[in-house]
Amino acid sequence: MRQTTPRLNRLALAIAIAAGGTAIPAAFAQDSAGGLEEILVTARKREENIQDVAIAVTALSQTEIDRTFARDLKDLASMAPNLVIDDTSQGPGGVAAIYIRGVGVADVEKSFDPAVGVVIDQVFIGANTGAILKSLDIGRIEVLRGPQGTQFGRNTIGGVINVERTKPTGEFGGKIRAGYGDYDTYNVEGLVNFPVTDTLAAKLTASKREQQEGYYDNITTGDDDGREDYEQFGVNLLWSPNDALEFEYTYNYENTDQDTPPLLNTGQQRHLFCSAFGYCSPSLDSTITGDRYKVARKAIRPPKFSDPTINATGVDQLQDTTFDANFNTDTHIVEMRWDMSEDYRFDAIYGHWNSSEVVFTDWDGTPDLLYHTDRPGNWDQDSVELRITNSGDDAFSWTAGVFFWQSSFDIKLRSYIGFAVPDVILDIPQYGFQDTDSRAAFFEGDYAVTDKLTITVGGRYSKDEKTSAARGVVDTSNPVGGFAPGLNGDPSDNWSEFTPKVGVKYQLTDDSMAYLTWSNGYRAGGFNTRVSSYSEAVTPYDQETVESYELGYKSSWADNTLRFNADVFLMKYDDKQEELHLPDTLSGTGQKTVVANASTTEMKGVELEIQADPMEGLYLRANAAWLDASYDEFIFDDDGNPATPLVDYSNLDFRRAPEWTANLDATYEWDVGGNTMWARVAWHYLGEHETNFDNSPELHNDAQNLIDASINYDYGKTRFSLFGRNLTDEDGYMIGYDVASIWSYAAARPPRTWGIEVTHEFGGE
């Protein structure tokens, strides 16, 4: 009988676990001695082995990210269980809808705080627009699942995506990558490290991408639609005057010029645009064009008016225009890292992030001007974090700090409405702005009771104050007839919360541990800047909080060639914030957006992860998750009329909360003539789920099977690659909105794409 080798035993074990329901993406992650490499994360604001951290966290290294051929965060949505990342196509530059365990936000308005935090080099990005970060020069990505109220604070109630870019090396070297793909897409990007002095190191990055054909065919104009060009430039300086002190400065500029993201009209018989204008989809799973990659929009608009009042224009005065859109950002980050002693470290981080955007959007997705908008907007944020860490060999280690935040945004919206009055286009202005001040103090400490038992206690006190206004909309209840600057003052309010955390970790063996954590999360209340009346503009919605229980297990097996991690969780929401689109006869636009607080909700689930090095040359990574998310009670007064009955939303399914998600990623490499060839195949399963709050049937997503693959050849320091994404050509919706029974719209995920790339590294040995 043939004898089974230890490697084959490990392969059988890995296959058995994967067959049991685990699955995720990756590439080779071996250490020099064989087995899986150690993964270090900063999920708790200090560097730790991922297998020792008592929270549900997934991490990808730079090598793993590069081997996915990801262009931005949404291409990495399969990296962790219960993670869904979509671009809502509501504006330029990428408007993130990031959901973890069914918790997230999918609206373009910057008055709606994110529920999943995106952090880049320890700086929190406070707006959904621009949060789909590009993947150039990323050294590591961590996905922290569940509320992170202690270390990261407000607006991380669903979790955190923590991104770290590479640091200057102080040695000359770098890489350049160039490629071509279908849709006539070119890209080139480069990175160079070099020393300036013995103590000062520098790194420069630059990239440019041109997509000269869009994914969509426009049946109205006969052109393709959806082109996007991107450019970036960055400078990173690292000064180390001595062994105990470092100063780092990072500047990054990004600019996106693109077609306004096309939207698909999915109107049904119940919608006004279908019944009155004939724009009807032939079926529930189609659009008015009969194809999810065919659009019908046309760029037309009325003459521009400068006065802040409603203007009316005849349809015969419409002018041809374009769907050109622009989004650009500037980022400045200054960090100081000071090892005050062998046990104590002080960190100071200042971050400034600014974005500006210009976009003209056809929301109705038809050849007519029924609902178009101009949406120029600006966002500014500044933050400071001061932190002390004690990480010595004593039984008690801890982190404590303070955090300060200021942000402001403004938007000068003009809605062009062509369905309210026959043969007339209404030009309705609305100006919104909001200032936010936030302060917090936090602490988290570990106490090793024994060599095996560790207790964690932490907490954060946060206070937020917001000043907001929305002006220029019609309000028949206001004698002035509209919002005027300074009218009754600008509304402001404040919210505060203490978010505690208690955890227990027990080291079962040298290679396995279990943990139990109770934690809380908090998202501040706020004001809506997209309203139809003065009373709505000055009435805040409440903060939301969540209480989370998590039981986890982490382990390494077979000489560290197999890792298996699992967790179960229960999250109980109080006053969960939900954005609703409702009819409104007073607004002029026929609809409004309100934020309602659901009474109580509950999420529970199971998450499994595996990494395996089962045989020479083969690396596997996988994850799987089951999620049950539901409203316990959500009864809402949707029209403000006490004479009409309340509406019960309790039976609705959560958005972007599929019951099942899974991923299996395999990379295999072999020797070819003294060089290395390797191939990767990844399968991502995204279960059926809803894309809009009302669970409109035409916006429902069936289950999707997404497959990526690549084949690569490393010749010395040069790599040649051929890759494909979404090879099954799944056309699921990334966004879906039912606009108050007037019409509904959606946007499909990018279709099947392929590309070739050449990467060359230089410098070094």
Whether pLDDT at 641 is above 90: no
Q: Flag the least confident range among 2-6, 168-172, 216-220.
A: 2-6
Q: Which token pair is 78? A: 């399969």
Domain residue ranges of the chain, discontinuous segments joined by +:
6-763
Q: What is the pLDDT of residue 208?
A: 96
Whether pLDDT at 479 is above 80: no
By the 10 Å C-beta count (0-12 exposed, 13-18 middle, 19+ buried), 259 is classed as buried
Span 243-284, pLDDT tens digits: 999 999 999 999 999 999 999 999 999 999 999 999 999 999
Identity of residue 640: G
User: Could you give the CA distance from residue 567 to residue 607 in angstroms, rounded to a whole number?
Assistant: 5
Q: Which token pair is 74? A: 């949404």
Q: What is the pLDDT of residue 586?
A: 63
Q: How far apart are the first and last CA of the chain?
A: 48
Span 146-161, pLDDT tens digits: 999 999 988 899 999 9
Q: Give the DSSP letter of residue 172.
A: S
Q: What percent of the chain has pLDDT over 70?
A: 91
Mean pLDDT of 649-657: 93
Mean pLDDT of 47-69: 90
SS3 for 462?
A: strand
User: What band does 537 get if pLDDT is binned at 50, 70 and 90?
Assistant: confident
User: What band does 572 get if pLDDT is binned at 50, 70 and 90?
Assistant: very high
Per the model's pLDDT, the better-predicted residue between 653 and 487 turns out to be 653
User: Could you give the CA distance from residue 570 to residue 362 in angstroms, rounded to a whole number?
Assistant: 41
Residues in Cβ contact with 242 at an 8 Å cutoff, skipping those fewer than 6 apart: none
Q: What is the pLDDT of residue 6?
A: 39
Q: What is the pLDDT of residue 173?
A: 96
Span 72-115, pLDDT tens digits: 888 888 999 999 999 989 889 888 899 999 999 888 888 889 99
SS3 for 158?
A: coil
Average pLDDT over the chain reads 89
Residues in Cβ contact with 218 at an 8 Å cutoff, skipping those fewer than 6 apart: 224, 225, 262, 294, 295, 296, 297
Q: What is the pLDDT of residue 640?
A: 66
Span 664-698, pLDDT tens digits: 999 999 999 899 999 999 999 999 999 999 999 99
Per the model's pLDDT, the better-predicted residue between 586 and 121 turns out to be 121
Q: What is the pLDDT of residue 19?
A: 35
SS3 for 229?
A: strand
Q: What share of the chain is helix, strand, coil (3-state, %, to 5)?
A: 5, 55, 35
Read off φ and ψ for residue 520, nearest 5 degrees.
-130, 150
Whether pLDDT at 221 is above 60: yes
Span 596-639, pLDDT tens digits: 887 789 999 999 999 999 999 999 999 999 999 999 988 887 76
Q: Under the phi-then-psi rule, with left for phi > 0, alpha for psi from -120 to 50, and beta for the rest, what region is 569?
A: beta
Q: What is the pLDDT of residue 639?
A: 67
User: Could you give the CA distance from residue 13 to residue 10 in angstroms, rounded to a whole number?
Assistant: 5
Per the model's pLDDT, the better-predicted residue between 360 and 394 turns out to be 360
Q: What is the pLDDT of residue 103?
A: 93
Q: What percent of the chain has pLDDT over 90?
A: 70
**Residue 318 neighbours by CB distance under 10 Å:** 18
DSSP strand pairing (377-390 vs 344-358): antiparallel
CA 158 to chain centre: 11
Q: What is the pLDDT of residue 493?
A: 93
Whether pLDDT at 499 is above 60: yes
Strand spans (E) along 340-491: 344-358, 360-362, 371-374, 377-390, 396-417, 424-448, 453-471
pTM: 0.92
User: Could you give the CA distance from residue 71 to residue 91 in angstroms, rounded to a whole number?
Assistant: 18
**Residue 463 neighbours by CB distance under 10 Å:** 15
* Residue 84 contacts residue 658 (beta carbons within 8 Å): yes
User: What band does 11 get if pLDDT is binned at 50, 70 and 90?
Assistant: very low
Span 505-533, pLDDT tens digits: 999 999 999 999 999 999 999 988 877 66
For 6-763, CATH gives: 2.40.170.20
User: Could you give the CA distance from residue 438 to residue 495 in angstroms, rounded to a whole number?
Assistant: 10
Per the model's pLDDT, the better-predicted residue between 478 and 385 turns out to be 385
By the 10 Å C-beta count (0-12 exposed, 13-18 middle, 19+ buried), 764 is classed as exposed
Whether pLDDT at 483 is above 70: no
User: What band does 474 get if pLDDT is binned at 50, 70 and 90?
Assistant: very low
